[in-house]
Amino acid sequence: MADIDGYDELMENLSEAHIETVSDAFIDELIEQVPGPIVGAMEDNCPEETGELRDSIVVDAHVEEGQGVMIRMGPDQNIHSDSKLPNDVLAGIFEHGGRVGIERQRSHKKRTAKQHREEDTILARHWMRQSWNESKDETFDTVMAAVQEKIIDGLKEE
């Protein structure tokens, strides 16, 4: 397990106060703050030049009973105008690489199988992984600052 600065102090303060739940307002505040750095990095790293995929990035955050806070960030499921694929599927292809069958007019000259493969192949760009790697420290700092402000400092005031 990684050594996280402030983790032991946080656990000590939480256990001393016997905190079992955190207010809904605090969770709502975290849900609003946490996605910011990640979504910003995703918008910066999105590989598509037209901007349609970048503009489709959404955040779905909610509390699931027994699961905690669930936050999904990424392109929506609307159909992309160029590829005719849902944005989230196209984003996965850009992330991991793959082939996209783009409709072509039959009047085009016959292409060799190799030309066809090269034109329809998208190389993996790992843009979502890169976005996470670039923003995870800022995201963690955002969570820890909120915990510090709302919980640890709140305990000291009591």
Asked whether residue 6 is domain-assigned, the answer is: no
29: left (phi over 0), alpha (psi -120 to 50) or beta: alpha
Distance CA 113, CA 59 (A): 40
Asked whether residue 51 is domain-assigned, the answer is: yes
Q: What's the pLDDT score for residue 51?
A: 82
133 membership: H or E segment, kind and range: helix 127-147
Asked whether residue 103 is domain-assigned, the answer is: yes
Question: Using CB atoms within 10 A of its CB, is residue 61 exposed (0-12), middle (13-18) or buried (19+)?
Answer: middle
Asked whether residue 11 is domain-assigned, the answer is: no
Asked whether residue 48 is domain-assigned, the answer is: yes
Asked whether residue 2 is domain-assigned, the answer is: no
Question: Using CB atoms within 10 A of its CB, is residue 72 exposed (0-12), middle (13-18) or buried (19+)?
Answer: exposed
pLDDT band at 11 (very low <50, low <70, confident <90, very high): low
Task: With CA atoms as reference, report the closest residue to 74 among 42, 50, 111, 104.
Answer: 42
pLDDT per residue as tens digits for the range 77-111: 888 877 778 888 888 888 888 876 554 444 455 55
Q: Could you give the number of structural domains in the chain? A: 1
Asked whether residue 62 is domain-assigned, the answer is: yes
| Predicted confidence (pLDDT) at residue 4 exceeds the cutoff of 70 | no
Q: What's the pLDDT score for residue 15?
A: 57
Q: Are 72 and 59 in contact (CB under 8 A)?
A: yes
Whole-prediction pTM: 0.64
Q: What's the pLDDT score for residue 44?
A: 92
pLDDT per residue as tens digits for the range 17-53: 545 455 666 777 788 888 999 999 999 998 876 688 8
pLDDT per residue as tens digits for the range 51-62: 888 899 999 888
Q: Give residue 54's domain range.
A: 22-151
Asked whether residue 3 is domain-assigned, the answer is: no
Amino acid (one-letter) located at 36: G
How many CB atoms lie under 10 A from the CB of residue 141?
11
Between these two residues, 102 and 156, which has the higher pLDDT value? 156
pLDDT band at 1 (very low <50, low <70, confident <90, very high): very low
Q: What's the pLDDT score for residue 38?
A: 92
Between these two residues, 118 and 72, which has the higher pLDDT value? 72
Task: With CA atoms as reference, report the closest residue to 27 among 151, 135, 141.
Answer: 151
